[in-house]
Amino acid sequence: MTLRKLKNIKSEYDVVVIGAGLGGLTAANMIARRGHSVLLLEQHTVLGGLAAYFRRKKHIFDVALHGFPVGMIKTCRKYWNSDISSRIVKLKGIRFDNPQFQLETDYSKDDFVRILTEKFGIPHSTVTDFFEHTRNMNFYDGDKRTTRELFEQFFPKRDDVWRLLMEPITYANGSTLEDPAISYGIVFSNFMSKGVYTFTGGTDLIIKMMEEELAKNSVDVRAKVLVEKVTTENGKVSGVIANGEKIKCKSVFSNANLQSTILDMIDKKDIPQSFREQTKKMRINNSSAQVYIGIKASEKLDYIGDLLFTSTAEKFSEKAMLSKSVTSRTFSVYYPSFRPGHNRHTIVSSSNADYKDWANLSDEQYKTDKEHLAEDTLDKLEKYIPGVRNKIDHLEVATPKTFERFTRHVGGSSFGTKFEGLDVATALPKHLPGLFFAGSVGIIMSGWLGAANYGVIVSNEVDKYLRSLDDQP
Amino acid sequence: MDKSQLREAVIDIIKSIAPDEDLNGIDGEKPLREQIDLDSMDFLDIVMELRVRYKVDVPEQDYPALNTLQGTVDYLHPKMGNV
């Protein structure tokens, strides 16, 4: 990367925000609204982090806009503006298709109660108890049980029910049966209130509207700027070094990767060795592979659902879901009404992927494996869109390597860290006053809603910190 | 601020966070969450607004005191009586 000089910025800010993912964007907006000066720096050419989009030919592909919980409406209204929140609409059809069951749902609680009782024959009281239990799961309870134990309690030996309950959440946040039940319960309950929602106009529009709001609130934003170091003075944050330049600030809010923030950006002498060790031990979540499919302008697709959870595996197997030969594909289908005025169909296929399976291949093998994934995905899509190969004019694959390249996340992680990352992130300001972190950690702080809300929660800590500095003589 | 002014100040903050809720009939002794649609982020917003508007800090361990409207007023009174 060539280092560009940072033009027209102030010599000093109250806060520098590193990384313009949804957490960084929302925090920058909230901190600025509280009257502090903010500089937001993003290493990539565009803002959004994993809330990414890209243009190919006449298509616009959404990398991560597959559906978020209804809570996103309130979050956008409160922490952004009502123009943004008013564009959020409900997805109509979520489909499941695998050898164990085929069904269509709006993914609301009412509909899931109906499906679990009528289709799966689970007693009504068990279903309502399960919903009640997951809704009341509280992060502060310290419940150490796993999701597997939770399922065993409510639906023993029903791996079809487990599949219905787990597949969408594994897709949404990368969590598995062995992760803490709390990380399942919170995300499941968020979605299960009123269904799955999306943003009319696409990722490009929501990011553009957020940029406009940041400008209104006087946030300085610079892209293609890599923060190399967080500097300190008297044991507190004093600034950053970005693109080789020193910028003074009282506080740093990192929305970068948690490991690289602690291990690469901070000088060893500024934090205890034991905290560095704790950071190194933290497990990273899995990554994703995606296939982007553009439909020719001349083709019209029938409605086949908005989100399709498909798999040809006979039984639900988590190991299979994370392996390279995974048969499960989640198709997000974007109809012309999703991006008014654009009038194109696109399909994004996603599956979980392990970085190790893609990291050390020869160039030739990497290319072959990508082609294989694309062809295999089209084979699977053929069932839902007959003759699909003749209807497309663009086909492209992203692997964990691609996610690593664009987000600079360790291991191309698309869901941050496992549960223990939350403790590391929370402890960071205790070890280095003035340095705060909010990014995809602990599974629950992941996804659109988790990322934005986490940005707000930590921006509150930043505001508190800045006020405490003002109160000192 | 006396307690009735404090009550008004708190209601004013809740109004800004949940503009669609009718706050006229709030029973001060009953939990707020049972009467209006407030989630944990809304409670955080109330705490943030208290700090921005009145410079009063509510540490996390004191959040349960904000469960009811009356509880909130009683909790804030010694801290904000002079505001």
Domains of chain A and any CATH numbers: 12-45+223-283+418-471 (3.50.50.60), 54-90+197-201+286-407 (3.90.660), 108-192 (no CATH)
Task: Output the pLDDT for position A473.
Answer: 58
A78 interface with B at CB cutoff 8 Å: yes
Contact A237, A416 (CB under 8 A): no
Task: Output the pLDDT for position A81.
Answer: 97
Q: Tell me which chain B residues have a C-beta less than 8 angstroms from the C-beta of A78.
A: 17, 41, 45
| CA A400/CA A412 separation, integer angstroms | 5
Identify the band that residue B14 occupies on the pLDDT scale cut at 50, 70 and 90: very high
Q: Tell me which chain B residues have a C-beta less than 8 angstroms from the C-beta of A460.
A: 44, 47-48
Q: Within 13 Å and on the Cβ side, how many CA atoms surround B18?
A: 19
The burial of B60, by beta-carbon neighbours within 10 Å (0-12 exposed, 13-18 middle, 19 or more buried), is given as exposed
Residue type, A337: S
| CA A171/CA B66 separation, integer angstroms | 37
Task: Output the pLDDT for position A412.
Answer: 79
Identify the band that residue B50 occupies on the pLDDT scale cut at 50, 70 and 90: very high
Q: How many residues in total does chain A contain?
A: 473
Domains detected in chain B: 3-80 (1.10.1200.10)
Contact A91, A307 (CB under 8 A): yes
pLDDT tens for chain A, residues 1 to 473: 445 668 889 989 999 999 999 999 999 999 999 999 999 999 999 999 999 999 998 999 999 999 999 999 999 999 999 999 999 999 999 999 999 999 999 999 999 999 999 999 999 999 999 999 998 887 666 678 999 999 999 999 999 999 999 988 888 777 889 999 988 888 888 888 889 999 999 999 999 999 999 999 999 999 999 999 999 999 999 999 999 999 999 999 999 999 999 999 999 999 999 999 999 999 888 888 999 999 999 998 999 999 999 999 888 877 777 777 788 899 999 999 999 988 899 999 999 888 999 999 999 999 999 999 999 999 999 999 999 999 999 999 999 999 888 888 878 787 788 889 999 999 999 999 999 999 988 777 778 999 999 999 999 999 999 999 987 75
C-alpha distance from A193 to closest chain B C-alpha (Å): 13
Question: CA-based angle A457:A28:A139, to the nearest 5?
Answer: 15
Contact A171, A187 (CB under 8 A): no
Task: Output the pLDDT for position A139.
Answer: 65
For chain B, the maximum distance between any two Cα atoms, rounded to a whole number of angstroms, is 31
Binding-site residues on chain B for chain A (CB distance < 8 A): 17, 39, 41, 44-45, 47-48, 51-52, 55, 57
CB pairs under 8 A between A and B: 24
C-alpha distance from B60 to closest chain A C-alpha (Å): 11
3-state secondary structure at position B83: coil
Contact A154, A133 (CB under 8 A): yes
- For an interface test with A, give the residue of B14, B43, B48, B62 to mutate (most A CBs within 10 A): B48
| CA A59/CA A382 separation, integer angstroms | 21
Contact A345, A295 (CB under 8 A): yes
Residue A34: which of B47, B52, B57 has the nearest Cβ? B52
Q: Tell me which chain A residues have a C-beta less than 8 angstroms from the C-beta of B51.
A: 463-464, 467
The predicted complex's ipTM stands at 0.88
CA distance to A8, A37, A221, per residue, from A12 (Å): 12, 9, 14
3-state secondary structure at position B31: strand
Residue type, A167: E
Task: Output the pLDDT for position A391.
Answer: 97
Task: Output the pLDDT for position A297.
Answer: 93
pLDDT of B80 strictly over 60: yes
Long-range contacts of the stretch A384-387 (C-beta < 8 A, 24+): A384/A304, A384/A308, A384/A310, A384/A331, A385/A301, A385/A304
| CA A454/CA A439 separation, integer angstroms | 7
Say whether B41 and A75 touch across the interface (CB within 8 A): yes
3-state secondary structure at position B29: coil
Mean pLDDT throughout B33-40? 87
A183 interface with B at CB cutoff 8 Å: no
Residue A460: which of B17, B39, B44 has the nearest Cβ? B44
| CA A105/CA A94 separation, integer angstroms | 5
Q: Tell me which chain B residues have a C-beta less than 8 angstroms from the C-beta of A457.
A: 41, 44
Q: Could you tell me which chain A residue has the CA closest to the CA of B41? A: A453
A136 interface with B at CB cutoff 8 Å: no
Q: Could you tell me which chain A residue has the CA closest to the CA of B17? A: A78
